[in-house]
Structure 1
Amino acid sequence: SWSACFSHQTFHLEPEPESRVEGGRQVGPASDRPHGDLCRLRSSSLEIKEKEIREKGSEILREQLDAAKKELKLKDKECERLSQVRNQLEQELEELTASLFEEAHKMVREANVKQAGAEKQLKEAQGKIDVLQAEVTALKILVLTSTPSSPNRQLHPQLQSSGTRGAHKCGGGHVRNKSISRAFQSSSGKPEPSSVSIQSAGKEEREMDSVLFAEFLLWKEQPSLDRSTAFLSRIYKEDIGPCLSFMRSELSQLVQRAVENNSLTIEPAAVSALPTVKAAALECGGPKKCALSGLSRTCRHRIKLGDKENYYYISPSSRARITAVCNFFTYIRYIQQGLVRHNAEQMFWEVMRLRREMTVAKLGFYFADQEV
């Protein structure tokens, strides 16, 4: 240590005092002045050494402090770098987490959209299926009601006996339709005696009109509801117009337009059987007066034109005329949509039957069960 070194050096700097013997006795230093100089010399040398030692120690401490500061700076830089790396990793982790959540939400949204679209398509498909099933059912009913009670053996050769098969051509033929004979019954539902005798006397004959059939074939190539075609123009002029011609001409035109647009509704006039309607709805005519003919008749039905709130009471005869025209439009719409699988001749005779129903209804004949 520094103290040990200092003691060692002090020991060697102190000279031994000189002594001499004079007259039988020992005498001390020659004088006190050299002794004081030596003390001062030793004190000065001690101070110098001590100062050097302090300076040297301070220098060593400064060097150690500088080294410690440098090391601390290096560690600070390393800590700062590691902190930046940590922050960068945390930021990347947050971005990755946000991206994953966003992607997950996006996938969930797309799945929800697809599910909603699929459900909507399913509902639309179910609605279309219901509509098609209803149309098929109505078409079956229409075909069944239009089937003659006695089959036409000329149109169905397989029904002919072996002896007579092949003896007739596919031209004219015989048909007997009970629904047609019923059309000529009185309003009370009882057939007139003359009509009974006529029906029992013989079968109804029919012969195809070549002009009408040619117009029908031309229309069937591109079936539409365009009344400018020769086929529909004739029917409008000869059947539809007269059948829907009532005393109230303005209302008659509205009825015809609603029938053409397939937006006319016929409802029973009984209050218990009707759906709830707004109190502001205007009901024209009444249970005892037909809104179309203006005649005092018992009206068991009423009509509604499109989405209007007005209701019009109609008599059984007016209802029969409207339903006859509606049946005709329903059948030609089925032909237009490709739902009828009969040949052209069968379609033509069904159209003629529907035209005859319009004519019969126009003349005032209707079935008794239509009043129900």
Structure 2
Amino acid sequence: LWTGRPLTACQSQSLLTFHCDGRQREKMPPEEEEEEEEEAGAHRQETYNMSRLRSSSLEIKEKGTEFLREQLDAAQKELKLRDEECVRLSHVRNQLEQELEELTASLFEEAHKMVREANVKQAAAEKQLKEAQGKIDVLQAEVSALKTLVLTSTPSSPNRQLHPQLLSPGPSRASSRLRGHTRNKSASGALQLPAEPTPTDVATNREDKELDSVLFAEFLSWKETPSLDRSLALISRVYREDIGPCLSFTCSELSQSVQCAVENNSLTIEPVAMSSLHTVKAIQCGGPNKCALSGMSRPCRHRIKLGDKENYYYVSPSSRARITAVCNFFTYIRYIQQGLVRQDVQQMFWEVMRLRREMSVAKLGYFPTEES
């Protein structure tokens, strides 16, 4: 029955069931209707809740899927960035390893180069040390000999070799005279003073000597500032009158080289027998039977070497005597320059004149004979 109020869903369903069955249902009591309505409301609420739950589940599922998809995309992007960073770091590492290898190789090469240079410098220093020690030994020997010959002459104890007039003449002294320039290369030459006076020296000592005023004045002028400058009157005269003629040989080019070596104190004269003692092979110019300076066939018992050159030249006794006379003059002049000669001016002058006479005599072909 319809009372004018809107029908509930349960009432509508009951009315529909009543008309369809064709039976008129009896009016139910109010308590049962309320219970039935409550059950229907509960059923509807449960159905509504279930539908909402299904809708919420679908919505949650869709949102979760979308969220996971976003998370996956973000993770893939991050992985891609990490891969690119790994590739870049790998390239940097390879480049650093290559640079490190190149730097290591360069350092090893530089170290080997420094070691080689150090070894070369050490060998050169050792060689120079040996040469210096050899020169020191030679200089010490020369200084000792010079002190014995020059510095030991005093009025109370005169050196008889520097004062021939104190020696008694005798035939044995003439036979014992051995002159010559048998020096090897050294920083300074060796002054070859006569070991014993010859009869000629004794005869000369007996003769009166008179100073030439021009020569003595030139010597005094030179003695104030001793040097080997050719502009000085004394040195110019000696070169013109003694040294030039004495060192003038047939082979003019070699003669000029010999003169330069004598002036530079770099000439070496040695017996031919010493050639076997040299460990360094030198070029032999000429032969033992032909003089390289005069070009004449003579037995050559000595050979000369000019400076640091590797050539050896055989010289005859006459050529060797002429070179030795010039070397003795230069040696004595250098000793005066160095202040090693303790004599008065006249004694030094007469010694210079004696050395000049030796050069003149050697130029004329007179030279002492000696046992080889």
Task: Return the TM-score normalized by structure 2.
Answer: 0.55
Is 2:132 aligned against 1:136?
no
Who is 1:176 aligned against?
A: 164
Quick one: which of 211, 214, 223 aligns to 2:217? 211
Report percent identity of matched pairs.
34
The letter for the 1-side match of 2:259 is Q
> Which residue of structure 1 aligns with residue 313 of structure 2?
311
Deviation of residue 136 (structure 1)?
1.5
Cα deviation 1:169-197 (Å, max 9, x = unaligned) = xxxxx822899x99x947998x9996597
Gaps of 5+ in 2: 1-8, 23-43, 179-195
Aligned to 1:136, the other structure's residue is in SS state helix
Partner of 1:320: 321
Which residue of 1 is the match for residue 75 of structure 2?
72
Gap runs ≥5 in structure 1 = 1-12, 20-27, 34-40, 161-173
- Which residue in 2 is equivalent to 1:52? 55
Query: SS of the residue aligned with 2:303?
Result: strand
User: 3-state DSSP class of the match of 2:229?
Assistant: coil
Residue in structure 1 matching 2:241, options 234, 238, 243: 238
Q: TM-score of the superposition, structure 1-length normalised? A: 0.55
CA contact (8 A) 2:291 2:315 kept: yes
Query: Cα offset for 1:232?
Result: 1.5
CA-to-partner distance for each residue in 1:187-228, whole Å, 9 max, x for gaps? Answer: 998x999659759x96998979641432322442xx3x4323
Query: Any conservation in 1 of the 2:268–2:305 contact (CA below 8 Å)?
Result: yes
Matches within 5 A, 1:191-340: 198=203, 210-220=216-226, 223=227, 225-246=228-249, 252-262=255-265, 264-270=267-273, 273=276, 282-283=285-286, 287=289, 290=291, 292=293, 297-304=298-305, 307=309, 309=311, 311-314=313-316, 316-333=317-334, 338=338, 340=339
Query: Cα 1:110–1:127, aligned 2, differ >3 Å: closer, same or farther?
Result: same
Taking a change above 3 Å as real, the CA distance of residues 294 and 51 of structure 1, as seen in their structure-2 partners, is closer
In the alignment, the residues of structure 2 paired with residue 274 and residue 118 of structure 1 have an alpha-carbon distance, to the nearest angstrom, of 27
AA aligned to 2:20 is S
Q: Contact (CA 8 Å) 1:247, 1:293: kept in 2 or not? A: yes
Is this contact kept in 2: 1:317–1:364, CA < 8 A?
yes
How far, CA to CA, are the matches of 1:128 and 1:271 in structure 2?
A: 19
In structure 2, give the amino acid aligned to 1:211: A
Q: Report SS of the residue matched to 1:31.
A: helix
CA RMSD of aligned residues (A): 6.1
1:236 to partner: Cα distance: 1.0
Q: Is the 8 A contact 1:290 1:313 kept in 2?
A: yes
